[in-house]
Structure 1
Amino acid sequence: MNSNSEIKSLLQKFVLNQCTPDEVNEVVAYYKKNQLTVDFPTVEDIQNLLGEMPKMDKKTADDIFKNILSASKEENTVIEMPQRKSNFRKYISIAASIVVLLGIGFFYKQSLSTKTAVKEFDFKSTDIVLQLENGETQILSEQNSAQVKDEKGNIIGNQNGDKLVYENSSDPEKLVYNTIKIPYGKKFRLQLSDGTFVHLNSGTTLKYPVKFIAGENRQVFLDGEAFFDVAKDKKHPFIVNADELNVRVLGTHFNVSNYHEDASTDVVLVEGSVGMYESKEEFDAAKNTILKPGFKGTFNKENAKISTKAVITDIYTSWINGGLTFRNMTFKNIITKLERRYNVTIVNKNEKLANEKFNASFKEESIENVMSYFNEIHGINYTIKNNQILIK
């Protein structure tokens, strides 16, 4: 770290708990070497940075900062006072900043680890992670088999390879949820306790009850993309909550794509009937949008409007069998889908490409073959190195 801009950039990452282990060591080593000889941020600067943490509310940030200041009082008193009065305020501020910066990572992790460990799941990891109701996590390996147990040690599910099947034997008094997270580059299959079968695409999170309760709706929560083959049960509607949108069925086959970076949530109906409505509302068959087979319903996240159109459903469900299809899709959106599908990082330096639209279909192709196609047909130049693709 030689320039002030590099120092400030790294300090901000440190305060926001975004540093890699190597970068943390670099920050600590830098402080040890330079201590009272450089212009560090003040305590007020640190407070401002804390206020910018995107996933931390103000009260939590204030509580953490108070703990840091409280814990750092003794350390501040042992710092030697400078000889010149004119530098007194600056040195005290610097000393406090050092203690605060080196303490924030610890207090931040200690006070929020139980709340954010799963929320901050790294989709570029290689692990499929299952979170139980009590917060404990279990790694699911596609090469192995495993049992899923509740907090009492009872077996509630069995995993074999890329499929997890839940038992339907227990009769719980309240809903107990599990959450599964699928990283980039992988897919997974899930059979819920009612027999509903779910195909989960890469970069997807699904929260669902271990066992559905009689007399209540069968509701699950989706962030990402999944294909549902819902077990028929007229007495218990099956509802997929996709943030601001609810998708309600009694028993059918349909696909839901609800990635947070997309401007819309798409529902494609293969068979049966699907109702679409805002999650803050109650379902009303007379007022809400009802999809017919062969149609796609699009929920615009910005204005909450729902539109429908006839589509070829195979285009939207081919991913289940390894297919990859783009229809009138901008290149920047194609990049996002390729990153999820193949767990790669794509850097596009050809800005003119970003908003150009393309049509393409692939079966089970490697990322090398996909990029080769774009190069041969559309003249897109690129290089691939260490799982990173650079488009020139």
Structure 2
Amino acid sequence: MMELPNTGTNGRIADLITGYLFNELNDSELKELEKWINSAAENKMIFESVLDASSLEKQGRIYASINVNSALIKAKQHLKFVKHPEINTDRKVKQLWTRIAAVASLFLICTIGLYYLNKTGLADTSALLVKQNEIKAGSNNATLTLGNGKKIILSTAVNGKLAHDAGVVITKAADGMLVYEISAHNRQDNLQTNTLSTEKGEQYQVRLPDGTKVWLNAASSLKYPSSFSQTKERRVELNGEAYFEVAKDKAHPFVVSTAQQSIEVLGTHFNVNSYIDEEITKTTLLEGAVKINGSVLLKPGEEAVLAKSGSLAIHSVDTENAVAWKNGLFIFEDETLKTAMNKIARWYNVEIQYQDDNLKLLTVGGSISRFDKVSEVLNFFGKAGNIQFDIKGRTIIISSKK
């Protein structure tokens, strides 16, 4: 059984692997990661396994039965990670759950160990899903629609300048982020509305003209002007889910409009979940302060839950759960199977069918990587309840276990 390197080294490697997964490494960091990978065959195996656990199965290797939550807890204890005030402002200091997820992957490979079995002995009695129609996780992609109607598919767009709109230069950065910058010859006479939209199975990041960063989840859209410089407020329209890190500007409040609410901020970090097909809209505050519909003030660590009936409730929550999607995780905390499967459907671009509507009311809990193939996520659910899954094309059929 392989041993993990010392805590400091392991934490650094976890950061580098996480940065690689999220396209956040600079040239120096990429070289550092490449050096570690090439320094030992075991390191290369660990790296490849974190990226694609199925590579081990193809070589006739499988994991022992793994409790993902246990691995995450062990990783957290191993890191002894303490959040500092600057965690939300320093790019190189990862969010807690992102870092734990990367180290947990190393634990799954290193401390649990690999079991080498012959292909003839691969019958796994705990397997809950036949992987005949495997479906991969989503990826970074989106469509940018300019004010003149021109559409740009960002996954195929070359890095660099994409467009120039009334003195605003729109570029695709090396890390994949969409960036708006005001040029020296900015004009205000023809500013137009841009729309960044994701389909099912897509997510993307954008830095708006004022410096605000937005992470857009799957099946979502964000509308915004190409510049805020001549507006009294910085207003954007959201459909779906997004995480915001708002640039501070006391003179120009930042406003997020959804189908049911308006969120006003001066400079803060928060997540908004406002899908049309969900019964509620959630606004979760991580830092700063926001005002809901002009009256309700949220404090850090609180979540506003707005029902379609108009009733609004405020709860204290674990904010890491709300932004788990941004950090590469699914975290389910005693939520209905229907709500959980809605998240799966958006990220894996699949349809869901229930053989019995009562199954929608089952509650599920736990956490697992968003980068796993769909069969691994479904097996994770299946082990926790009396349910089974079948995949037909891009449809997941859910039924009671026979």
Q: Does 1:217 align with 2:223?
A: no
1:352 to 355, 358, 361: 358
Aligned to 1:347, the other structure's residue is in SS state: strand
CA contact (8 A) 2:146 2:194 kept: yes
8 A contact 2:141–2:203 mirrored in 1: no
Q: 1:145 aligns with which of 146, 159, 179?
A: 159
CA contact (8 A) 1:225 1:259 kept: yes
Paired position in structure 2 for 1:156: 169
Pick one of 304, 307, 315 that aligns with 1:300. 307
Provide the C-alpha distance between the structure 1 equivalents of 2:382 and 2:176, rounded to a whole number of angstroms. 34
| 2:369 alignment partner, one of 341, 346, 363 | 363
Residue type at the aligned position of 2:170: G
Query: What is the CA-CA distance between 1:324 and the residue it aligns to?
Result: 0.7
1:172: Cα distance to partner? 1.4
Q: Does structure 1 residue 331 correspond to structure 2 residue 337?
A: yes
| SS at 1:255 equivalent | strand
**Aligned equivalents of 2:235, 2:391: Cα separation in 1:** 42
Give 2:209's match in structure 1, choosing from 193, 207, 213: 193
Instruction: Output the CA distance in 1 between the equivalents of 2:398 and 2:259.
Output: 33
Which residue matches 2:397? 390
Q: Deviation at 1:147?
A: 2.7
- In terms of fraction of residues, the more helix-rich structure is 1
| CA–CA distance in structure 1, aligned partners of residues 242 and 364 of structure 2 | 24
Letter in 1 for 2:159: S
**Are residue 320 (structure 1) and residue 336 (structure 2) matched?**
no
What is the distance in 1 between the residues matched to 2:190 and 2:313? 36
Deviation at 1:151, TM superposition (A): 6.1
Q: For each residue in 1:74-125, what CA deviation from the matched residue of structure 2 results, as whole angstroms up to 9, or x when unmatched?
A: xxxxxxxxxxxxxxxxxxxxxxxxxxxxxxxxxxxxxxxxxxxxxxxxxx99
SS of 2:211 mapped into structure 1? coil
Deviation (angstroms), 1:197 = 0.4
Distance 2:299 2:141 in 1: 37
Could you tell me how far apart the structure 1 residues matched to 2:163 and 2:232 are?
24
1:194/1:212 contact within 8 Å kept: yes
SS of structure 2 residue aligned to 1:235: coil
Gapped regions of structure 2 (runs ≥ 5): 1-137
Counterpart of 1:165 in structure 2: which amino acid? V
Q: Is the 8 A contact 1:175 1:212 kept in 2?
A: no
Alpha-carbon distance in 1 for matches of 2:281, 2:151 = 29
How many angstroms does 1:372 deviate by? 0.5
**What's the offset of the Cα at 1:219?**
0.3
Instruction: Work out the CA distance in 1 between the residues paired with 2:177 and 2:207.
Output: 8
CA-CA distance at 1:130 after TM superposition: 1.2
The answer as to 2:317 corresponding to 1:311 is: yes
1:370 partner amino acid: V
Partner residue, 2:85: none
Secondary structure at the aligned position of 2:340 is classed as helix
Q: How does 1:155-174 map to 2 (within 5 A)?
A: 156-160=169-173, 162-169=176-183, 170-173=186-189
The CA deviation string for residues 143-180 of structure 1, in whole angstroms up to 9 with x for no partner, is: 7425332467x662101353100012224146421001
Structure 2 residue matching 1:203: 3-state secondary structure: coil
2: CA distance between counterparts of 1:142 and 1:256? 28
Measure the CA separation in 1 of the matches of 2:231 and 2:143.
Answer: 30
Instruction: Give, in angstroms, the shift of residue 237 of structure 1.
Output: 0.1
With normalisation by structure 2, the TM-score equals 0.60
Give a deviation string over 1:197-255, Cα, whole Å, max 9, x none. 00010111000111113351000000000000000000000000012310000000000
Q: Could you tell me how far apart the structure 2 residues matched to 1:139 and 1:126 are?
A: 11
The 1:232–1:127 alpha-carbon spacing in structure 2 relative to 1, beyond 3 Å, is closer
Q: Are the aligned partners of 1:175 and 1:213 in contact in 2 as well (CA < 8 Å)?
A: no
Moved >6 Å (runs of 4+): 124-127
Q: Is the 8 Å Cα contact of residues 270 and 294 (structure 1) preserved in structure 2?
A: yes
CA contact (8 A) 1:171 1:211 kept: no
**CA 1:157 to 1:262, structure 2 compared with 1: closer, same or farther past 3 Å?**
same
Query: Are 1:247 and 2:263 matched, yes or no?
Result: yes
Question: Is the Cα–Cα contact under 8 Å of residues 141 and 202 in structure 2 kept in the other structure?
Answer: no
The answer to whether the 8 Å contact 1:187/1:200 transfers is yes
Cα separation, 1, equivalents of 2:224 and 2:364: 36
CA-CA distance at 1:126 after TM superposition: 9.8
Name which structure has the greater RCO, CA cutoff 8 Å, separation 6+: 2
Q: TM-score if structure 1 supplies the norm length?
A: 0.62
Determine the C-alpha separation between the residues in 2 that align with 1:141 and 1:248: 32
2:64 maps to what in 1?
A: none
Structure exhibiting the larger radius of gyration computed from Cα positions: 1
Letter of the 2:180 counterpart: Y
Work out the number of aligned pairs and report it: 258
Q: Distance in 1 between matches of 2:193 and 2:366?
A: 39
Could you tell me which runs of 5 or more consecutive residues in structure 1 were left unpaired when the two chains were aligned: 1-123, 278-282
Q: Matched residues in 1 for 2:339 and 2:179: separation?
A: 33
1:132 is matched with 146
